[in-house]
Amino acid sequence: MRWSEAFIPTLRDAPADAEAVSHVLLIRGGFIRQVAAGSYTILPLGQRVRLKVAGIIREEMNAIGGQEMMPPTLHPAEVWRKSGRYDLMGDNLFKLEDRKGAELVLGMTEEELFALTALELSSYRDLPQIWYQMHTKFRDEPRPKSGLLRVREFTMKDSYTLDIDRAGLDAGFEKHRGAYQRIFSRMGLDAVGVEASSGAMGGSESVEFMVRSDAGEDRIVTCANCDYRANVERATSAVAAVEDGEREDLGRFPTPGLRTIKALAEALPETAAPDRQIKTLVYLLDGEQVLVLLRGDHNLQEQKLLDATAAVEARAATVEEIRELLGADPGSLGAVEVDGLKIVADEALRGRFNLVTGANEDDWHRSGVDVERDITVSHWADLREVTSGEPCPMCGGTLDLWKGIEVGHIFKLGTKYSETFGVYVQDEKGDSHPIIMGSYGIGVERGMAAVVETSHDEKGIVWPVSVAPYEVVITVVRPDDPATIEAAEGLYAQLGESGIEALFDDREERPGVKFADAELIGIPYRVVVGPRGVADAMVEMTTRRGLATEEVPLGDVVGALSELVAAQRYGI
């Protein structure tokens, strides 16, 4: 492509509302333009990257036996009603009506449609199957942000495994885990698989692939010593036991003005240290009022609460609601002698006694609380959020907490969709079984943005060859000089014949502009052809990563580039 004929609208200044590095660089480099919140036009340069990412995903999916197909994006609402997700997904699902008034939704994922397609299967001999598709998904995100990292319309590769038994699901899951590692590594992403919560998708085991970045929205816990990795929504740690001393009787004592765990602990350091207190929270789980109990120095991880109770929505109760329910304000709440309410307690409180908690009367607390003797716990669960520096639950090593971008997620779904859609096959004995499904997703444009987040410098993007929009840029210094342009044209033609994707910067711009643009858009290799070198049949070759430059004879440069590019085109 000749740059003089290309549409590559680079900007010197970033738009004021772009903040994430990938957002700024993709806009400045002329890869994308924003249309509305979470809605972007992918420009020619961006589309070239997108197609390369999609190509890598497709190759790896096909390599594990995936079969690509294309279900519609416009779905009848009844399908989503049948799975229960029409309501479960709430406002995130785009809903519309056709001219006859029939209700439709825009697909945000395709479990339902693939389950419908799977109705064609009738025998275990048809299994296993790996089906996938890669096209537009719609999600009415409450808050699109950070350029391509979180949008309302995006391309997702989603695949589905269909198996007769658990072992088949496990095998399909492991195939995907391997394929995903290869996909991300080929894109130049250092993605790690972490244990995750399955959330609204349903299912049991799930692994998220995370790329370390401060632009990420997830928090990940990893062990410095072993390979324990988990999303904070799931992570646990080894909690040291607390010595509770002598078991005492339940008591009651005034605590005027002491409304926080910290204040109470400071007033009574001997008996009410934070780890000797019970923190009582009031939550509404799908509208039901529930008491949530944690150790005083622990914080609630809401996703764990949702997972433990199979609830869909959790919110903290308001002060008014709490007052009406328990007769006291936050700061004096407790679960002792509370009847008729569901009480969910964190495992760290199991077996504890001689504790302090609120008395459900302002400015009064209880002492000598024995959790199992004095509180009617209806459900024990791991609810606390792990913090940085705690001991690893596997090996006792130190846990590290970092932010990550979720570039992929794989789930063991089980039989939820096959049962509701009636997808059964017969085994060799003629018995009927629901198909066991797995579901696996990768966000294509988010993957692009993640590459930029983790591979750039102060000059701009540094694309790996495997996903770069062009492999080489030829920067012509003084295109008006006949000998120079002739040499450059010759080089451009030779690169084309060698199958190298070259961007030919023949624009009548000053050299500084061309260098800056080439660096901004991140082309992996740059060849500078100018009158200075052409006289001696020499050109300059610069590697974008690190910007190291060497002089190369004009006659050798195609060979050198072919070797370099060929070695990296596939990705590591």
Partner RNA sequence: CGGGCUGUGGCGCAGCUUGGUAGCGCGCUUGCUUUGGGAGCAAGAGGCCGUCGGUUCGAAUCCGACCAGCCCGACCA
Q: Name residues contacting RNA, limited to 2-21 (CB under 7 A).
A: 10-17, 19-20
- Say whether residue 193 binds RNA (CB under 7 A): no
- Select from 459, 498, 566, 569 the one that contacts RNA (CB under 7 A): 459
Spatial distance between the Cα atoms of 445 and 295, rounded to a whole number of angstroms: 42
Q: Please list every residue from 384 through 413 that binds RNA, using CB under 7 A.
A: 406-409
Query: Could you tell me which stretch among 113-121, 123-131, 291-299, 516-524 binds RNA (CB under 7 A)?
Result: 516-524
* Among 313, 318, 304, CA closest to 347: 304
Q: Is 181 in the site for RNA (CB under 7 A)?
A: no
Q: Say how many C-beta atoms besides its own lie within 10 A of residue 334's C-beta.
A: 27
Q: List the x/- string, 327-356, binding to RNA by CB under 7 A.
A: ------------------------------
Which residue lies nearer to RNA by CB, 36 or 70? 36
Residue 567, burial from CB neighbour count under 10 angstroms (0-12, 13-18, 19+) = exposed
Question: Based on CB atoms, which residue is closest to RNA, 370 or 445?
Answer: 445
Pick from 368, 434, 441, 571: which binds RNA (CB under 7 A)? 441
Concatenating the DSSP letter of every residue in 334-386 gives --TT--SSEEEEEGGGTT--SEEEE-SSTTEEEEEE-HHHH---SEEE--BPP
- Does the protein bind RNA through residue 528 (CB under 7 A)? yes
Selected range binding RNA among 285-293, 334-342, 412-420, 511-519, rule: CB under 7 A: 511-519
What's at 89, amino acid-wise? M
Q: Chain-centre distance of CA 483, in angstroms?
A: 52
**Identity of the residue, 368 or 443, whose beta carbon is nearer to RNA in the bound complex:** 443
Count of residues near RNA by CB under 7 A: 71
Give the residue with the Cβ less far from RNA, 257 or 512.
512
Do 469 and 460 touch, CB atoms closer than 8 A? no
**Residues 130, 65 contacting (CB under 8 angstroms):** yes
Site for RNA in 114-143 (CB under 7 A): 139, 141-143
Instruction: Assess 96 for contact with RNA (CB under 7 A).
Output: no
**Interactions with RNA, residue window 254-313 (CB under 7 A):** 302-303, 306
Closer CB to RNA, residue 392 or residue 495?
495
Q: In the complex, what is the shortest distance from the CB of residue 206 to RNA, in angstroms, rounded to a whole number?
A: 9
Is residue 473 within the footprint of RNA (CB under 7 A)? Answer: no
Asked whether the beta carbons of 27 and 34 are under 8 A apart, the reply is yes
Give whichever of 371 and 528 is closer to RNA, judged by the CB atom: 528
| Minimum gap (Å) between residue 462 Cβ and RNA | 13
The SS3 call for residue 119 is helix
Instruction: Give CA–CA dist 175/129, Å, rounded.
Output: 12
User: Using CB under 7 A, which of 299, 489, 531, 545 touches RNA?
Assistant: 531
Q: 50, 150, 175, 416: which one contacts RNA (CB under 7 A)?
A: 150
Tell me how far, at minimum, the Cβ of 48 lies from RNA, in Å.
Answer: 19
Q: Is-contact 413 441, C-beta < 8 A?
A: no
200 is a site residue for RNA (CB under 7 A): yes
Site residues for RNA, 535-554, by CB under 7 A, read 540, 542, 547
Per CB under 7 A, 240 contacts RNA: no
Measured CA to CA, the distance from residue 201 to residue 111 in angstroms comes to: 9
- Minimal CA–CA distance to 356: which of 257, 290, 264? 264
To 10 degrees, what angle do helices 557-569 and 482-497 make? 40
Give the C-alpha separation, 185 to 194, whole Å: 16
Q: Which two tokens stand for residue 141?
A: 């995100």
**Least distance between RNA and beta carbon 192 (Å):** 13
